[in-house]
Structure 1
Amino acid sequence: MARVLPNFNLSALQFLCIDGDAAMRDTLVKVLRAFSATQIAAVDSAKAAADLMKTRSPDIIFCEWELPDGKGTEFVRGLRRDRATVQRMTPVIFVTAHTQQWHVTTARDAGVNEYLAKPFSAQLIYSRICAVLERPRAFIDATGFVGPDRRRKHDPYLVAKARRSADAAASVDMSGVISEDEIEAMLGL
């Protein structure tokens, strides 16, 4: 049974969409506008995003894995490690066609909050927005990791068991494409 999503008013939130593909940027902007979002900036590169963030402070960032000037994971990692700005805690939702398990793991370890496989539906975009609004996670600033707490479930026994299972599966084959359901299970959604 599908989860009923809350009805958030997104008109007060500022969104930043980073994708080198103009058609994908336009599609994402149209989906956000359909949800009554009005404050949307769309750029084609990590550099353009960094420049824009000098004068604007987005509430939610959508980012693609492949950018003309590098990897989205590099952008997120740099954002998370920049102690000079509070924007380092801004939720980042990856929207990408890269669905191999190692991509999801690498993005999570770079500090993304949510991961969404292309092609996406409007409902899936909205579900990821709801996830970052409804269930914000503590921000971790440790030697080996900076970003939102990767633990979504706080039952220590279940978390450890799930982590061992995920690690065992990952050690078998990190190259296989995984489904949206498997991504959600992996991220504990």
Structure 2
Amino acid sequence: MAELDLSGFTILIVDDNSYMVRLLRQTLAGLGVGTIKTYTDAKEAIEFMKLVNENPVKAGVMQLDFIVSNWQMAPIDGLMFLRWVRTHKESPNRFIPFLMVTGFGDKAKVEESRDLGVSEVLAKPFSVNAVADKVMQIIGTQRQFVQTVDYFGPDRRRQNLPFKGDEKRILTDKHPEVKVIYE
């Protein structure tokens, strides 16, 4: 982490647990993140994201670099918030990296968040090193976004395995951000 300067990054933390907000804020600040905005309610976070898009000066930040959100919150949980970010027409940035923090570590729950377009999942309890690793994965690995009939989000494939047949997810100059696949 020492060679990466995070002082220009702005991270949005959304968690209704004040202890977790403090812990994440202190951890990210310790990693050198320059600006950290926190909200205890996803609805407030959505309004803040819209404000950043409409009037960055009034919002106090020029852009958001990624989101860290708890899964289990009320009244809007992390999955509903993620779904809004990835699919809603009012979402200002469908491509923003999204780190889901959760006590649900089982495979089915991780797959559920993956299928909604999460960038990374951080299971509780976590260490400072685990947070640093996830931040590095988010920042250091630019994953292509994929759109299908029922999915929009980062390419879920993590390995570059040989594939027999026509590759359908190759970056092109025309569409470097999203590859649309309809089957």
TM-score by length of 2: 0.79
Instruction: State yes or no: 1:90 paired with 2:86.
Output: no
In the other structure, the counterpart of 1:64 is 70
Q: CA RMSD in A?
A: 1.7
Shift of 1:121: 0.8
| Paired positions, count | 154
Cα deviations by residue, 1:2-49 (Å, 9 ceiling, x for unpaired) = xxx663111101100011101100110001111111210011111011
- Contact 2:50-2:91 at 8 Å conserved across structures: no
- Contact 1:18-1:44 at 8 Å conserved across structures: yes
- Contact 1:6-1:130 at 8 Å conserved across structures: no
Read off the aligned partner of 2:37 and give its amino acid letter: A
Following the alignment from structure 2 to structure 1, what is the Cα–Cα distance between the partners of residues 132 and 81?
23
- Identical residues among aligned pairs (%): 29
Which 5+ residue runs of structure 1 have no aligned equivalent? 158-189
TM alignment of 1:36-185, pairs within 5 A: 36-56=32-52, 57-156=63-162
Cα deviations by residue, 1:115-168 (Å, 9 ceiling, x for unpaired) = 1111111111111111011111101122110110101112145xxxxxxxxxxx
Read off the aligned partner of 2:110 and give its amino acid letter: V
Instruction: State yes or no: 1:13 paired with 2:9.
Output: yes
More helix by share: 1
Cα deviations by residue, 1:81-102 (Å, 9 ceiling, x for unpaired) = 1345451100001111111211
In the other structure, the counterpart of 1:164 is none
Which 5+ residue runs of structure 2 have no aligned equivalent? 53-62, 164-183
State the 4+ residue runs in structure 1 displaced beyond 6 angstroms: none
